[in-house]
Amino acid sequence: MSALSWKELFPTKLSFVIFVAYILLFVGQGILVTASQKSDNQYDYNIVTVVLLTEVLKLGLSSVLYCKDNSPQSLVQNVIDNKKILALYFVPALLYCFYNNLSFINLSVFDPTTYYLLLQLRVVVTGILFQVIFSKTLSRKQWLSLVILTFGCMLKQINFTEASHDQKTPSLDIGLNGIFILIQIFCSCLAGVYNEYLLKKQGADVNIFIQNIFMYLDSIVCNVVLLVIRGNLETAFTYSSLSKVFHYKVLLVMFNNAAIGIVTSFFLKTLNSILKTFASALELILTAVLSYLFFSIPIYLNTVLAIGTVMFAVYLYSQNPVSNPSKVRQSEQVALVKAEEV
């Protein structure tokens, strides 16, 4: 990385804008979700309904962006011609359905800084999945960075000061909450790696927006099924329920999440996966600072040490990241983004 210039990292002004927007949107999502909670850290609205409507919004945006340069008829024809890929997308769509709903649950337990620190364990899981599925052997530097990253996440749960003992932090024994965060991480990683494996074999030449449309269509179906299973379908769209969903704080969560889906698609189209790791590190710092400013969440020694350790691990990993067996095409880059998204 030392040999790279800013011009090589950001070839155009637009690419730098995308990089900054990507970081701000991801940091903003944790802050906005936390701000939408009640005083007891619970939600006054149906989180599945919010996720469902967000997917509808993403579907609409992707369709509009596709039709900007193509006809609506070609959109329908693309869906019909690639219906097999549409069906295959149900696997990652279901996993992301669990991921998105668990993000609300976990943010009601963990503060945004802790939440994003724990999510960095995705790098560990993704590395292992790459090694298993693509028969890739990780180098010593890669394994070292993953071990340091894991240690950094554990540091956040260790109290170094008396003041932090008064905080209701999950500690190392985080029990059921820890299981939920692990499920969320595995859902994200499995969906992402499956996407890449799927696209290399089936849909490598499918338009980027058509891929997104497939994902969001299947996600809508999965969330509707989840509402049926929970017995909330009838009450999810009543006037009382929707009035809570259309509160300005919840609308901000939905629009911000929809923007994340679109901006993320362009991130690796114009930039690269190494910058993605640095973006994750910068997200940690901004989240800690904004959580302190908006929610008065203290920044203790364990938080500083954890952020520093994770940033070093991310930097080390970026020197020798897991690479694909073959040249990554545009559609495969989208799959890589989705492995680390939301």
State residue 269's pLDDT score.
Answer: 65
* Position 48 confidence tier, pLDDT thresholds 50, 70, 90: very high
State residue 342's pLDDT score.
Answer: 45
Q: 80 lies in which domain range?
A: 10-139+166-272+329-339
Q: How many domains does the chain have?
A: 1
State which H helix or E strand residue 326 sits in. none
pLDDT in tens, 320-333: 665 544 444 444 44
Please compute the mean of the pLDDT values over residues 48-52 and round it to a whole number.
93
Q: Which residue has the tokens 């609506």?
A: 72
In a domain, 3, yes or no: no
- pLDDT surpasses 70 at 163: no
SS3 state of residue 158? coil
In a domain, 287, yes or no: no
d(CA 218, CA 221): 5
Please compute the mean of the pLDDT values over residues 13-34 and round it to a whole number.
90
Which of 68, 325, 81 shows the shortest CA–CA distance to 203?
Answer: 81
State residue 32's pLDDT score.
Answer: 93
> Higher pLDDT residue, 332 or 7?
7
> Higher pLDDT residue, 79 or 282?
79
Phi, psi of 174 (to 5 degrees): -95, 0
In a domain, 295, yes or no: no
In a domain, 198, yes or no: yes
pLDDT in tens, 66-119: 999 899 999 999 889 888 888 988 998 999 899 999 999 999 888 888 888 888
In a domain, 299, yes or no: no
- pLDDT surpasses 90 at 56: yes
- pLDDT surpasses 70 at 159: no
In a domain, 159, yes or no: no
d(CA 188, CA 184): 6
Q: Which of the residue ranges 87-91, 117-121, 165-169, 270-274 would you say has the lowest mean pLDDT? A: 165-169
> Higher pLDDT residue, 193 or 209?
209
d(CA 277, CA 54): 26
In a domain, 319, yes or no: no
In a domain, 131, yes or no: yes
pLDDT in tens, 214-251: 989 999 999 999 999 988 888 888 888 899 999 999 99
